A and B are shown apart, each in its own frame.
Chain A
Amino acid sequence: MSLPPGLSSQTPPSHLVRWHSRIYAIAGLFVLLIVIAALATTIGSVKIPFLTTCQIMLSRLPWLHITPFWPSGVETIVLEIRLPRVILAGLVGAALATAGATYQGLFRNPLADPYLIGVAQGASLGAVIGFLLPATWHGMAAGVIPLFAFTGAIISTAIVYGLARVGKTLPVTTLILAGVALGALLGSIVSYLIISSGEKMHSIIFWLMGSFSLSQWADVRYVLPYVVVGTGVILLYARRLNVMQLDEEQAQQLGINVERLKIVLLVAATLITAAAVSFVGTIGFVGIVIPHAVRLLWGADHRFLLPLSVLTGAIFLILADLIARTVQAPTEIPIGVITAICGAPFFLYLLRRRKRVIF
């Protein structure tokens, strides 16, 4: 486009893109995440000073030479019990918040959450079947429940996808309706199985409400690749997800292969959700509310909404897990209870304070 010479302002004012404030927000939240993670590792039933905790963690870095002055029991508590738990909570929080933001953007629906198209119900059914298996199965492999939950999540999403497909296209409304219907069906099967599960009922319900109490490094190693790869793919598509907010026809006219984009994002978001819930249960509230809170604070642009959701989700779930294991120690409160009790009032406060369109 040729431009008439002498046009008043050739360069757009920098505030138009608000990139600076958003990049500062990303950097600030990243630092906050590190600090919160370190604090959460310090706090627990055994009192360990904050500095000692930091030194124990830093002593594992190869280029720092810190001589251990602490008892080996303390090191085990920090490195083998608390740290994997904190990291897993962060990963799951990041995964659920990212998947929630992705589904909301893809479906252009503020009510969407990571469990909308059957992931949670599929994972629950898988997990319940795992719990009801004869004890000999559990002896064979420690990870029976996560394996069954993951398989259940993937199978149920695949069924929803197959049901919703019309020719070469995947209408979003049909996908949501199929997901809700199949979710209801699987949910009622889960309820029936729970009622008839006898003495295993307590552990099943505890799993369904979510808990990090059994977290180990092995769990982190399983979940990490899914979350890193899935989130990475989603972040690459952030600009296209913005264009998708117009509508499918305009998105196509702006050069987006809409059907391919839907498949890539659905697969990525579903995999990270399935990996997250398989190990810790179907934790609610994070996936729907964190993205909205981020929108309220920093706007709806997915190039910032997505990374900010990753960080905010991680921070939120680390804090929620800290509360879950400390307020009633030694008893643990299911984390799903904490996420709603602490998160909902804060979210409602944000909603009232910023009276503007957020979606």
Chain B
Amino acid sequence: MIKIEIQRVCLGYAHKDILHDVSFQVLPGELLGLIGPNGSGKSTIIRALTRIIAPIRGRILLDGKDIAMIPRQELACLLGVVPQLPLLPSAFTAFEVVLMGRNPHLGLFQQESQRELDIAWHAMARTMTQHLAMRRVGELSGGEIQCLLIARVLTQETSAILLDEPTANLDIGRQVEILNLLKNLCRENNLAVLAALHDLNLAAQYCDRLILINDGRVYAQGTPGEVITAQNIKEVYGAEGCVYTHPANGLPAVLINPGNGRTPNLKIKSAHVDV
């Protein structure tokens, strides 16, 4: 059980500020979605949360403790990351890469024991990657690597997980499998999960709350129904869209207008335009 608090944080690179005065929280047992246009600073927030870059102003707290004060190895036992399109050493096997998730739990004089191998193997079972175990990562597809990285973060056994575009390389079936898995883990183990997502429909379906970032500020936050509105989409993304209500669960669902301003003529019985 862990709570992430971002308090009035300003972030940037070499005199160029990316984010101003951003505040939000990720609570235990909550799947929080981070949405916003390209370059709005979603990845920057994730890098700041793992202490790759330090905030210019403001504080990031993990259970009330400033992360700048937490040693790296200890931080990696609390907070795991699935990076976006990372570099992997092509000569290593998939199992070896997943096993690297145990690194923060092992001291200088410790070796991986059977317990470490079991944890990695179970994580691969949950992400349906066991059949890849002996393959070299250089031979794998983008989607397979994405699933391996999720197996690695599960192997890390942290109470908070950050994901940068976890579904970007996945087909629609895998997107649902992975997000179901994350949602279940989040519920069962009371994990605090923060996912940067591009797909507004997936974000609406799976996230408990959403943070919409635009121009370096929190533009809107709240439940998917509060954040995903046609007006917000137009103002933030500059795209014309219609927001419908999902017939199965009442959550918002977005369809874009392909530029000519016509509203698509949907034949879903219970659908009604939400604008």
User: Which A residues have a C-beta under 8 Å from some C-beta of B?
Assistant: 1-4, 7-12, 15-17, 108, 236-237, 239-240, 242-243, 245-247, 249-250, 252-257, 295, 299-301, 303, 356-359
Q: What is the CB-to-nearest-CB distance from A291 to chain B, in angstroms, rounded to a whole number? A: 12
B52 touches A239 (CB 8 A): no
Identify which of A237, A249, A359 gathers the most chain B CB atoms within 10 Å of its CB.
Answer: A249
Q: Given A7-B122, A255-B104, A257-B73, is A358 in contact with B91 using a C-beta cutoff of 8 Å?
A: yes
A236 touches B108 (CB 8 A): yes
A108–B92 Cα distance when bound, in Å, is: 13
On whether the beta carbons of B118 and A254 are closer than 8 Å, the reply is: no
> Which A residues lie within 8 Å of B81 (CB)?
250, 253
| Residues of A with C-beta under 8 A to B136 | 356-357
Q: List 23 A-B pairs, Cβ < 8 Å.
A: A1-B154, A1-B185, A1-B189, A3-B122, A9-B125, A11-B117, A12-B120, A12-B133, A16-B93, A17-B95, A17-B117, A108-B89, A243-B103, A245-B92, A246-B87, A247-B87, A250-B87, A252-B50, A255-B76, A300-B89, A357-B91, A357-B138, A359-B89
What CA separation (Å) do A249 and B44 show in the bound complex?
A: 13
A2 touches B52 (CB 8 A): no
Contact with A along B65-93 (1 / 0, CB 8 A): 00000011111110011010011111111
Residue of A nearest to B90 (CB): A357
Give chain B interface residues in 9-58, CB to chain A under 8 Å.
47, 50-52
Bound together, the chains give a CA A9 to CA B131 distance in angstroms of: 12
CB–CB B123/A10 < 8 A = no
For the complex, what is the distance from the CA of A256 to the CA of B92, rounded to whole Å? 19
B165 at the interface (CB under 8 A from A): no
Residues of B within 8 A of A357 (CB): 90-91, 136, 138
Select which of A1, A240, A299 is within 8 A of B123 by beta carbon. Answer: A1
Tell me the smallest distance from the CB of A53 to a CB of chain B, in Å: 38
Q: Which of A16, A242, A257, A303 has the most CB of B within 10 A?
A: A16
A14 to B, closest residue via Cβ = B117
- Bound-state CA distance A299–B139 (Å) is 16
A347–B73 Cα distance when bound, in Å, is: 39
User: Counting CB contacts under 8 A, is B171 at the interface?
Assistant: no
- Asked if B125 and A254 make an inter-chain contact with CB atoms under 8 angstroms apart, the answer reads no
Which of A4, A8, A237, A358: most chain B Cβ within 10 A? Answer: A4
A337 smallest CB distance to B (angstroms): 31
* Number of chain B interface residues as a range: 35 or more
Chain A residue with the shortest CB-CB distance to B105? A255
B118 and A246 contact, CB distance less than 8 A: no
A301 lies within 8 A of B76 (CB): no
Could you say which residues of chain A place their CB within 8 Å of the CB of B77?
A: 255
Residues from 102 to 152 in B contacting A, C-beta threshold 8 Å: 103-104, 106, 108-109, 111-112, 114, 117-123, 125-126, 130, 133-134, 136, 138
Q: Is the CB of B86 within 8 A of A300?
A: no
Interfacial chain A residues near B103, Cβ < 8 Å = 239-240, 243, 254-256
**A300-B92 contact given A16-B134, A253-B50, A254-B104, CB 8 Å threshold:** yes
Q: Closest 10 CB pairs between A and B?
A: A255-B76, A255-B104, A12-B121, A245-B89, A300-B91, A255-B73, A253-B81, A247-B87, A357-B90, A16-B95
Q: How far is the CA of A7 from the CA of B126 in the complex (A)?
A: 9
Chain A positions within 8 Å of B97 at CB level: 246
The residue in chain B whose Cβ has the minimal distance to the Cβ of A242 is B100
